[in-house]
Amino acid sequence: MNLHLSTRLRRMRRNETLRRMARETRLSVDNLIAPLFVRPGVGVRNPIASMPGQCQFSPDTLAEEARALADLGVPAVILFGIPDHKDAEGSGAYDPDGIIPRAVAAVKAARPDLCVITDVCLCEYTDHGHCGVVRPNRDGVPDVDNDATVALLAREALAHARAGADMVAPSDMMDGRVGAIRDALDAHGFEDLPVMAYSAKFASAFYGPFRDAAESPPQFGDRRSYQMDPANAREALREIALDIDEGADIVMVKPALPYLDVLRAAADTFDIPLAAYNVSGEYAMVKAAAANGWIEEKRAALEMLTGIRRAGAQMILTYWAKDAAGWLRG
């Protein structure tokens, strides 16, 4: 039987060469940013049980991992610190001799060409696990004090810049923090240091393994008074617009997969580099399913990353950065 069709879309799917020629979205190692966890010590490579294949590093082993990533062509890493001491105001976050300044120095000494981004938040450094200074709110309930926290975040960003960071990335979701950080950097001679803002960061169930890795679960309550309601897309665009107005150079949507609609809307609305965070829960789900033989990890991971790229992300923070760089090499 011949249907006499003039249009047959399968013609361009007949073999891999034709499919490659017609491919609309291309995932490259240039799109990848590797998140890394660092703690004090020497020779540390502590496996993270909830994130198979990921570790907590000490500055020396972090430098080795950075070299390996750079050799694979990964252009950037983002660092999350785990201090040896935590307190109510997260003083380790803005300590000029803290774990992140030491880690930045180690990575830059090992690979000066690698872009080192630092996460700017207080949750890893506070003894209560929240992303800022906790005080009673107007209802008498303990909550994060926005303005007091912003002052400390600006100090943290400045400490990272002075240590040699190439970019700072505030992830706290405090109102006004991008502008305060931009002002602090500019006032101290860091006008050319970019800010990548976690602009649309949702209060997600997919962060669980990260909190294990960063040792930063809240000791009471949750983070819904400052992270976004998962139901709100229009509000996400308002958050992004505000961060752009305050001086953000890159804006981010986090998590990635449940919020591809937000990512696409941001790409269509704003003419600014756009990042997405393929978060720990998204990674851990695939790892668990692959370990049980239910799915093929490589195909699933590359399909997820391609989907995030197709939705509009130019940069993808992903725990598959190292593996994906190898896979994409062929």
In 3D space, the residue among 130, 277, 249 whose CA is nearest the CA of residue 178 turns out to be 249
User: Facing residues of 276 across strands?
Assistant: 253, 316
- Read off the tokens for 179: 């502008």
Whether 298 is a known active-site residue: answer no
User: Facing residues of 118 across strands?
Assistant: 79, 168
> What CA–CA distance (Å, rounded) separates 73 from 54?
19
Given the residues 201, 287, 298, 322, select the one marked as catalytic.
Answer: 201
Given the residues 86, 108, 254, 322, select the one marked as catalytic.
Answer: 254
- Are the C-beta atoms of 272 and 245 separated by less than 8 Å? no
What's the number of CA atoms in the CB half-sphere (13 Å) around residue 38?
Answer: 31
Whether 201 is a known active-site residue: answer yes
Residue 151: φ, ψ to 5°: -60, -40
Q: Which residue has the tokens 């590359």?
A: 302
Report helix, strand or coil for 318. Answer: strand
What region, left, alpha or beta, does residue 59 occupy, with left being phi > 0 and alpha being psi -120 to 50 degrees?
Answer: alpha
Long-range contacts of 141-149 (CB under 8 A, 24+ apart): 142/220, 142/221, 143/225, 144/174, 144/225, 144/226, 146/174, 146/175, 146/176, 146/226, 147/176, 149/122, 149/174, 149/177
> What CA–CA distance (Å, rounded) separates 169 from 79?
10
Q: Which residues are catalytic?
A: 201, 254
